[in-house]
Structure 1
């Protein structure tokens, strides 16, 4: 359970699966678009309306604070992604530093984060499609086909459809799906830029006063809520085995995507509270449409949200399959998940199985508070990445690092503490769901993963070196 996989072995195994290897086709631009695609989605379209009543006009400051919190972990991700440029993201980093059981726990958390979040986001996509149909055509999908059984319907067909569409794009190859994702990122970025242009033209200086109507306590509460708008910046690290120059490009893509998303978030927030008084937001999910007002604004934002959410489904589903690929390569899950199609260079069976499972989940399960469990899984994985930086700096200080986290150990320690603080702010239902998920994960590890691990086949001499 404590055996570690040396960094050299992780890199040597990089991208190798049964039947072939993942193909290195992505440059820094595609990697950056993957992270932006996974991050810039429902968060800005939904969470802004919930955060403004807490922070008032200072919601922009709350975005900055949340961005700095994300930056603490992003710096650690950048160092490890450049040093261990392999598929698997924080799962692989934990395997090299904390040990096999810690890596399994991290990977299991990522499966929760990616799998449930894709299903939850797909459900949101269906809601936006329905809203756009009502605005443009005056019709709506029947409830039987737009809601799961627990919510009065038979199945959420649009939610399943968007997952299937993302699956088709991924099966075409990493390069092709990266191009589709880049187009969608461009569309949703343009949508938010147009929103800013329209909203800034209606800004009233008086809407920014008083800046802190509820004090810094309100800003802090808003920042805790807004942090989850940044989840996804680590998606580029799952593409380590398909990047052409991962040591150079992965750290740059992670930092660049976080910077661009933060700037866009702050501009949108500044424009929104300037164009509409903060007391009018009242927690509404359609805050941006309300700011623009009228049918035209609502159609613009609904169309942009559809593209934004589809892009998140595509990018996060991609990350999910690559994490499972890495775990399968190490023997912790069945070999099926690391079979690479020799024609497309894609883990085809992996993609089909994962997409089918998530499509069914999105179509028939009312996710409710279970979706909040994705946050705790993400934060736990972030904390382990910060710990991994500290461990490798101590054990292997001479390893080549293309990016170095500044102010070590202060920065990683602050990263761990900030993740712990946000985890403790989550409700008891989220912790219960997390505990049940981890219990299932430990049963799977001890029942299958521990005995099938590739490291379990090592000779006593090599096993001693691994430990």
Structure 2
């Protein structure tokens, strides 16, 4: 539960409320509620899958079980892309926060005026990544113990912030200021999701990624996911309430474009100072380092479990699928460290990757609903310690929800993610050419044939849709666009479920995975 909660409460809590309010105004509260409903639906699906099929790198394994190597690779590749990017982004956020402290700015010289890492900053970032790598190499027990202390801190600080701002600085009139409750209408509510809201609430699936190393995964995974989601949702919703209420009413007279004078970093610290709680501002600046760093630690570990899963299934070099005597995937952890180091170069800020990570995460999440529906049909006798409620409703609803998030992320983001998936698939095909016929896993091409039309359709809808900063036509009328996405998603969902591998292949794959877990 702490692994999931520690992933949910990262840099998103410090930045999400400000980003959402600038896009949707007070109606950003609806953005959080909508996101909570979407994530809760997907969390329940992951809870069933994680309990029934516990294995390290679970989000890569679920599509593998239902759709074979092609589905497993695409789902695992997207999951790995978003996870491996998050550790360096959170480290970058930590350094950018620290750079606001005068002594550090003057003596350590972490960032250039444009916000990119200096040589010194890159050195400190590398040190943080090396520490994360060491903790993950030691094993999941140390990862869990080090994370537990961090999560207690990360949860306590937002709760203290909520109480202090409610008590000392709260203006109810702010909820109708600057153009009313919803100054940007429904479009603003939806557009707020990819700028930080979905990013903030994602992470519940991290319990699934390390689930194969849990003591009692059949019971622990579902409880961990659901509990973390409930706690995270309550905290984030209350944070948005106190953020809006604590703003200076004079700053909202002309709208929500700039609701707080100081920039993107440290908005709660600014509000705490205005409320006369300077002591809280110091705590918040400390947390501005601890929260992102703690989340980066977790994601370096979980991204390595994903590449481990693909290595074990021979979708990536098999070296990545080997475990040390401590039971950790050493080479996968090293790969996450190396790729994370490379990520520092083209992506120097937290903001630059939030929408990209959100879209990639939504694609990753979308595989779970179709996998759950397919596995219930193809593997009905498998013990399911936790069963998602109303599966015939929740599975298509989860797939539709994930596709809506992809659409709201914008065309300019979606086509880039799809290009990255195509590049990954070419690597997959190239890897198969280096294997002997005996090593090469069999591919059920028919089972995965729905993936290309699904992703291509999302790019096309995004191109004619209303969301994104550039490149699209914006010709689909408001609300009609949502109907198009929903109808398209449902058509793909039921087609995908019908194409799943037959029961014998599914059971053989599941039994092979279960034997690996038992070993």
Deviation at 1:426, TM superposition (A): 2.3
Task: Report the counterpart of residue 303 of structure 2 in structure 1.
Answer: 320
Distance (Å, rounded) in 1 between the aligned partners of 2:284 and 2:298: 21
Task: Report the counterpart of residue 512 of structure 2 in structure 1.
Answer: none
Question: Contact (CA 8 Å) 1:149, 1:364: kept in 2 or not?
Answer: no
Structure-2 change in CA distance of 1:257 and 1:266 (3 Å): same
Structure-2 change in CA distance of 1:422 and 1:299 (3 Å): same
| Higher relative contact order, chain-length normalized (CA < 8 Å, sep 6+) | 1
Please, what is the CA RMSD of the aligned residues?
Answer: 3.0
Find the partner of 1:293 among 270, 273, 298.
273
Task: Report the counterpart of residue 40 of structure 2 in structure 1.
Answer: 71
Distance (Å, rounded) in 1 between the aligned partners of 2:113 and 2:330: 28
Alignment of 1:130-145 (within 5 A): 130-131=99-100, 133-134=101-102, 137=103, 139-140=105-106, 143=109, 145=110
Question: Contact (CA 8 Å) 1:35, 1:253: kept in 2 or not?
Answer: yes
Find the partner of 1:361 among 343, 350, 354.
343
Distance (Å, rounded) in 2 between the aligned partners of 1:128 and 1:230: 21
Task: Report the counterpart of residue 37 of structure 1 in structure 2.
Answer: 6
Deviation at 1:139, TM superposition (A): 4.1
Deviation at 1:193, TM superposition (A): 1.4
Distance (Å, rounded) in 2 between the aligned partners of 1:49 and 1:149: 21
Alignment of 1:356-435 (within 5 A): 356-362=338-344, 366=348, 369=352, 372-435=355-418
Task: Report the counterpart of residue 200 of structure 2 in structure 1.
Answer: 229
Alignment of 1:9-408 (within 5 A): 32-131=1-100, 133-134=101-102, 137=103, 139-140=105-106, 143=109, 145-147=110-112, 151=116, 153-154=118-119, 156-201=122-167, 202-209=169-176, 212-214=181-183, 215-225=185-195, 226-277=197-248, 280=252, 282=258, 284-285=263-264, 286-293=266-273, 296-342=279-325, 344-362=326-344, 366=348, 369=352, 372-408=355-391
Task: Report the counterpart of residue 424 of structure 2 in structure 1.
Answer: 441
Structure-2 change in CA distance of 1:429 and 1:411 (3 Å): same
Return 169-178 or 243-252, whichever deviates more. 169-178
Task: Report the counterpart of residue 463 of structure 2 in structure 1.
Answer: none
Distance (Å, rounded) in 2 between the aligned partners of 1:259 and 1:363: 36
Deviation at 1:404, TM superposition (A): 1.4
Task: Report the counterpart of residue 6 of structure 1 in structure 2.
Answer: none
Deviation at 1:243, TM superposition (A): 0.7
Deviations 1:400-454 (A, max 9, x none): 1111121222211111111111212223442343133122211111111474698
Distance (Å, rounded) in 1 between the aligned partners of 2:438 and 2:15: 44
Deviations 1:326-359 (A, max 9, x none): 11111222232222221x3322232223213313
Deviations 1:347-374 (A, max 9, x none): 2232223213313432675467455322
**TM-score calculated relative to the size of structure 2:** 0.76
| Helix, strand or coil at the partner of 2:380 | coil
Distance (Å, rounded) in 2 between the aligned partners of 1:120 and 1:180: 20
Return 275-284 or 253-262, whichever deviates more. 275-284
Deviation at 1:232, TM superposition (A): 1.0
Structure-2 change in CA distance of 1:330 and 1:138 (3 Å): closer
Question: Contact (CA 8 Å) 1:122, 1:160: kept in 2 or not?
Answer: no
Structure-2 change in CA distance of 1:453 and 1:153 (3 Å): farther
Distance (Å, rounded) in 2 between the aligned partners of 1:253 and 1:362: 32
Question: Contact (CA 8 Å) 1:147, 1:156: kept in 2 or not?
Answer: no
Residue segments in structure 2 that go unaligned for 5+ positions in a row: 443-501, 507-519
Question: Contact (CA 8 Å) 1:44, 1:265: kept in 2 or not?
Answer: yes
Distance (Å, rounded) in 2 between the aligned partners of 1:67 and 1:345: 35
Return 202-211 or 225-234, whichever deviates more. 202-211
Deviation at 1:97, TM superposition (A): 0.6
Return 444-453 or 352-361, whichever deviates more. 444-453
Task: Report the counterpart of residue 454 of structure 2 in structure 1.
Answer: none
**TM-score calculated relative to the size of structure 1:** 0.84
